[in-house]
């Protein structure tokens, strides 16, 4: 049995099937599909509120709140309360923290407010729940010239607004928001009386998921307020995307159980209990002659493992990918995020920008993780003017996708016809050869392939890889890990051009055509010729067919030492030395002191 890592409580053994690896591979990225309910149950995080305890000047808990500061506002801990203020007169009129978890279904939340101070005649603090711009509600503590100092409740239901208000006697109190079905109730407590006053009720409110803001606002001058004892009286929360507070309380090691490797959390869905984590390291070797082993540790009592585990774009996540990987898109981000929202896993930051009508509905389930859905009309991803390849440059293009139509996959200027412009492109055809790879230096043009027989438009998942030997002008094509065809264009020069690298359409000299239709799960381009063994193993890995998970192994570090004054007895006894737990092999006694000895 391999040694345990530090004081980690549980782990699972992962077996890499050597029969699917034709030669030893180094720094090969392995996607781990984590869908064991036990892991997610153990790592569950109970969020029942926040008392904003912390060091003065610190931001609120970043696992729970996103701070939305401007250059003239502050949201920070002060005397174990959350102080939000706009201290100088500015055009900025709203400062707030936004809950990272979101609230589905019924809920009841409240917060204390105090020291509501403003120089404006129209300012205050609030707790707000918002589904969208047509469905939101909030209750405020106001300093308002027209209403006098007061409590104010407001809601919009399907875009129709309504409000109620009452007199406020104190500069402190409590605010409360309740949703039960499609009915909302907004309350206040003037001071700390312990009793709530119902201020506002609406029916027909959206039952969709929304988030909470704690905020201050002003029409024209300064404002400040303290928030404390945010409490979820009832209801559950959902952690969207990669936001679950315990997602980084994991570790992955080599077969010795103690040497950690890096992990990129591409997707973590605590609600549906599924995650995709890519793992590797520069010295990780996978054998082609015997099974290799990894260990997956998880323990909610550990600190976040930020040295080895990261979300996409974080440093440890980038270390999963070797230096010749120039761009790798996992297609796991909401495409409504705007410029550069489709994230590159590598350190090159070659992020993609979606175009067309893509929004959060286009982020869908893929084969093992997420994928982006394109409509075949105007959806595509632009990566900017990157990855020009010179005369002798080697490279590999890999894509994992699903479609039933012949479309453009990826291109850098080159088009279906003509040789006047340099570049490269991959297209799907509606008959054999099903894949067309085009490379042009502006004079010489290479079109491959002649016998690419695998049907790629059968609405099944397919992994393709196309390699280019720049020195020889030789291209090779693979489908689902199997070599199918090659082609050669001697004397092929530089592919340099000023056009953006695009996924999902044919640029065609400002007259775009051939938009991709259906799902793309990943794209990767590397400045090397990936081997046939690498490509074969990648096909298995992307289908979750390379790794098998073993049973849970539980560490027992405490309450296992059995000693009495007459006999030296030890059972499953461990000693912590230099950051690792090692087994005790013998015990000696010196007077009244026992000493635990290790090899």
Token digits for 476? 């090779």
Q: Identify the pLDDT of residue 584.
A: 72
Task: Using DSSP, state whether 375 is helix, strand or coil.
Answer: strand
| Residues above pLDDT 70, as percent of the chain | 89
* Helix, strand or coil, per DSSP, at residue 536: helix
* Domain boundaries defined on the chain: 10-44+241-313, 49-234, 329-527, 566-599
The second-level CATH assignment, the architecture, of 329-527 is Sandwich (2.60)
Pair 593, 577: CB distance under 8 Å: no
User: Which region among 131-140, 427-436, 536-545, 556-565 has the lowest average model confidence (pLDDT)?
Assistant: 556-565
Alpha-carbon distance 354 to 335, whole Å? 6
> 49-234 has which CATH code?
2.60.120.200
Q: What is the pLDDT of residue 390?
A: 84
- Looking at the predicted structure, is the pLDDT value of residue 558 above 60? no
Q: Write down the pLDDT at residue 492.
A: 83
Whether the CA torsion 31, 33, 38, 42 is positive or negative: it is: positive
pTM of the shown model: 0.88
| pLDDT of 467 higher than 90 | yes
Specify the pLDDT at position 559.
Answer: 36
pLDDT tens track for 297-325:
999 999 999 999 999 999 999 999 999 99
Task: Say which residues have a Cβ less than 8 Å from residue 512's Cβ, sequence separation at least 6.
Answer: 378, 380, 505, 506
Q: What are phi and psi of 420, to 5 degrees?
A: -75, -15
What's the rounded mean pLDDT across residues 508-528? 90
148: pLDDT strictly greater than 60: no
| Burial of residue 450, with CB atoms counted within 10 A of its CB: 0-12 exposed, 13-18 middle, 19 or more buried | exposed
The answer to whether 109 and 176 have CB atoms below 8 angstroms apart is yes
Least confident of 28-42, 482-496, 520-534: 482-496
Q: How far is CA 152 from the centre of its chain?
A: 38
Burial of 405 per CB tally in 10 Å (0-12, 13-18, 19+): middle
Average pLDDT, the chain: 90
Dist. CA 16–CA 25, nearest whole Å:
12
Same fold, 49-234 and 329-527: yes
Q: How confident is the model at residue 567, as a pLDDT? A: 39
The structure tokens 């595509």 sit at 380
**Closest CA relative to residue 352, chosen from 374, 371, 332, 329:** 329
Provide mean pLDDT across the span 531-536.
Answer: 98
Tokens for 236, please give them.
Answer: 């559950």
Rounded CA separation 545/273 (Å)? 20
- By mean pLDDT, which of 418-427, 558-567, 574-583 is the weakest? 558-567
Q: Are 243 and 102 in contact (CB under 8 A)?
A: no
264 SS3 class: strand
- For residues 183 and 90, the answer to whether their CB atoms sit within 8 Å is no
- Of the candidates 434, 384, 426, 382, the one whose C-alpha atom is nearest the C-alpha of residue 405 is 434
Q: What is the rounded distance in angstroms from the CA atom of residue 413 to the CA atom of residue 389?
A: 12
């Amino acid at each position: 049995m391999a040694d345990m890592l530090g004081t980690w409580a549980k782990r699972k053994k992962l077996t890499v099937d050597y029969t699917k690896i034709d030669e030893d591979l180094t720094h090969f990225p392995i996607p781990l599909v984590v869908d064991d309910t036990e892991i997610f149950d153990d790592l569950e995080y109970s969020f029942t509120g926040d008392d904003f305890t912390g060091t003065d000047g610190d931001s609120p808990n970043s696992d729970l709140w996103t701070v939305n500061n401007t250059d003239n506002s502050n949201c920070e801990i002060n005397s174990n309360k959350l102080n939000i203020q706009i201290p100088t007169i500015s055009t900025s009129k709203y400062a707030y923290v936004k809950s990272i978890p979101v609230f589905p279904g019924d809920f009841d939340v409240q917060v204390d407010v105090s020291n509501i101070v403003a120089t404006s005649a129209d300012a205050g603090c609030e707790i707000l729940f918002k589904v969208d711009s047509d469905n939101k509600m909030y209750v405020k503590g106001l300093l308002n010239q027209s209403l006098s100092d007061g409590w104010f409740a407001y809601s919009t239901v399907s875009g129709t607004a309504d409000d109620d208000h009452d007199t406020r006697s104190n500069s402190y109190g409590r605010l409360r928001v309740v949703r039960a079905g499609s009915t909302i109730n907004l309350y206040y407590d003037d001071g700390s009386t312990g009793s709530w006053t119902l201020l506002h009720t609406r029916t027909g409110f959206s039952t969709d998921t929304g988030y909470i803001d704690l905020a201050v606002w002003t029409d024209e001058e300064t404002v400040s307020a303290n928030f404390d004892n945010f409490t979820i009286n009832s209801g559950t929360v959902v952690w969207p995307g990669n936001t679950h507070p315990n997602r980084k309380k994991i570790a992955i090691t080599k077969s010795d159980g103690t040497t950690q490797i890096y992990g990129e959390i591409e997707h973590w869905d605590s609600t549906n209990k599924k995650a995709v984590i890519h793992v590797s390291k520069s010295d990780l070797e996978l054998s082609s002659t015997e099974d290799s082993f990894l260990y997956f540790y998880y323990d909610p009592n550990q600190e976040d493992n930020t040295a080895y585990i990261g979300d996409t774009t974080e440093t440890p996540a980038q270390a999963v990918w070797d230096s010749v990987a120039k761009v790798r898109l996992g297609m796991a981000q909401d495409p409504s995020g705007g410029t550069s929202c489709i994230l590159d896993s590598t350190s090159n930051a070659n992020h993609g920008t979606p175009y067309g009508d893509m929004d959060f509905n286009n982020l869908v389930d893929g084969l093992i993780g997420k994928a982006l859905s394109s409509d075949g009309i105007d959806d595509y991803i632009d990566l900017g003017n990157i990855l020009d390849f010179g005369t002798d440059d080697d490279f590999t293009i890999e894509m994992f996708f699903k479609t039933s139509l012949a479309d453009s996959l990826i291109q850098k200027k080159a088009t279906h016809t003509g040789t006047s412009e340099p570049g490269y492109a991959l297209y799907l055809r509606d008959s054999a050869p099903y894949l067309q790879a085009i490379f042009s230096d502006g004079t010489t043009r290479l079109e491959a392939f002649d016998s690419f027989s695998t049907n790629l438009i059968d609405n099944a998942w397919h992994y393709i890889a196309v390699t280019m030997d720049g020195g020889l002008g030789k291209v090779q094509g693979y489908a689902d890990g199997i070599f199918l065809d090659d082609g050669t264009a001697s004397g092929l020069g530089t592919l340099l051009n000023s056009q953006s690298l695009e996924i999902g359409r044919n640029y065609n000299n400002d007259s775009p055509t051939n938009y991709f239709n259906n799902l793309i799960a990943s794209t990767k381009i590397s400045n090397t010729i990936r081997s046939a063994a690498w490509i074969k193993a990648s096909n298995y890995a992307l289908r979750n067919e390379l790794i098998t998970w073993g049973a849970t192994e539980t560490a027992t570090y405490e309450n296992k030492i059995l000693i009495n004054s007459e006999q030296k007895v030890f059972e499953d006894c461990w000693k912590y030395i230099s950051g690792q737990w090692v087994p005790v092999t013998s015990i000696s006694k010196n007077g009244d002191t026992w000493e635990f000895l290790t090899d």
